[in-house]
Amino acid sequence: MAGKIRVLKLFIALAILLSVTIVFLVSPSMAPGITSQVDTRDPLTVSYDLTTVPERIKTDAQRLSTALLGDNKEAESEFAEQLLSTYIAAKDREVVILFNPGGWGWRFLSDSPNWHSIFLGMQEDLKNSGVKALFLEYRRSAGTLKSYVDEYMAIIGLYSLKAKALASRINFLTEHIPGLRVILTGESNGTIICDEAMKLLMDNPGVYSIQTGTPFWHASEKNDRTLIMNDNGILPDTFSNGDFFAIISRNVEAWLGFARLDNNKGTILNFFAAPGHTYSWEELAVRSQIEDFLNGIFTAK
């Protein structure tokens, strides 16, 4: 057992050293990310005919893309197409709900079964209330070395360009679709980009946020337009509370074979388990808070 613990400590030390080295060797860059409708694997850009978009909106999309990504023509073109595709998808809806995954930011919503249950619950509630909603997911990372570095720097607060790109998407939608409301949702590391984007969108009254399991090093800004849940009503969230003893104990026990590690629940960066770091529609405390939050938004129309 002592030998296995030494190997684990060595692994952690090497991981930290590698992370620091990568940050210094690879500079961050702006990436447009990928937006798709929930439960599909295709970007929105493959689903819509962009020739139907009014010229003034096309011009604005190009202007915004050039301002953000003018030094990367391929990314600039991709971002402009995503803006226009999202506009087409959202123009006849009352609300857009956009999911930011945890981990490194590249997972689909279907890879997050707990939050997938929340989306299904919200979808049913809004449908029963007669609210026309569009559910989107936003993968902000591509799984490459460069994107891992960008994500690492973003989640520790050294790189805010991702939040700027997300906020620009939302402002574009609300500016061109009168009365549209947008709810940014995120879990774990995904709450950081939600919070940073909300700060940039503070003057846009049509934007809201639902965040679960904020990392312990980040303090999301509390206000009337943001719902922050760092407790699922059943177990304290060890990751949000920074309970390192509980996290390390759980993972060491699982690694040594004394406990079962469920990779679908309570994971950090797709690897470490954290008791209480799960939020689902089946949990009464989670469901009731979200339902009250949605009622507050749509009764205030």
pLDDT of residue 74: 86
Taking 80 as the threshold, does the pLDDT of residue 64 lie above it?
yes
pLDDT of residue 19: 55
Query: Distances in Å between the alpha carbon of 292 and those of 59, 121, 287?
Result: 39, 13, 9
Per-residue confidence at 243, pLDDT binned at 50, 70, 90?
Answer: confident
- Token readout for 18 is 């590698």
Taking 80 as the threshold, does the pLDDT of residue 160 lie above it?
no
- Token readout for 149 is 């570095």
Phi, psi of 40, rounded to the nearest 5 degrees: -120, 160
Q: Report the C-alpha gap between 225 and 103 in whole angstroms.
A: 25
Residue with tokens 């026309």: 132
Question: Which region among 64-73, 114-123, 220-229 has the lowest average model confidence (pLDDT)?
Answer: 64-73
pLDDT of residue 263: 45
Question: Which region among 78-87, 122-131, 256-265 has the lowest average model confidence (pLDDT)?
Answer: 256-265
Per-residue confidence at 39, pLDDT binned at 50, 70, 90?
Answer: confident
- Region of 269 please: left (phi>0), alpha (psi -120 to 50) or beta: left
pLDDT of residue 1: 47
Of the chain, the end-to-end C-alpha distance in Å amounts to 61
Taking 60 as the threshold, does the pLDDT of residue 76 lie above it?
yes
Q: Report the C-alpha gap between 235 and 292 in whole angstroms.
A: 21
pLDDT of residue 157: 64
Taking 90 as the threshold, does the pLDDT of residue 45 lie above it?
no
pLDDT of residue 266: 47
Percent of the chain with pLDDT over 90: 51
Q: Report the C-alpha gap between 142 and 34 in whole angstroms.
A: 9
pLDDT of residue 22: 52
pLDDT of residue 4: 45
Q: Which residue has the higher pLDDT, 227 or 241?
A: 227
pLDDT of residue 177: 98
Planar angle of CA 34, 282, 208, nearest 5 degrees = 45
Question: Which region among 76-80, 127-131, 268-272 has the lowest average model confidence (pLDDT)?
Answer: 268-272
Q: Report the C-alpha gap between 147 and 75 in whole angstroms.
A: 14
pLDDT of residue 7: 47
207 in Cβ contact with 174 (< 8 Å): yes
Taking 80 as the threshold, does the pLDDT of residue 227 lie above it?
yes
pLDDT of residue 258: 61
**CB atoms near residue 61 (< 10 Å):** 23
Q: Which residue has the higher pLDDT, 26 or 102?
A: 102
pLDDT of residue 233: 92
Per-residue confidence at 70, pLDDT binned at 50, 70, 90?
Answer: confident
pLDDT of residue 159: 56
Taking 90 as the threshold, does the pLDDT of residue 200 lie above it?
yes
Q: Which residue has the higher pLDDT, 120 or 254?
A: 120
Taking 80 as the threshold, does the pLDDT of residue 190 lie above it?
yes
Q: Specify the 3-state DSSP secondary structure of 12.
A: helix
184 in Cβ contact with 194 (< 8 Å): yes
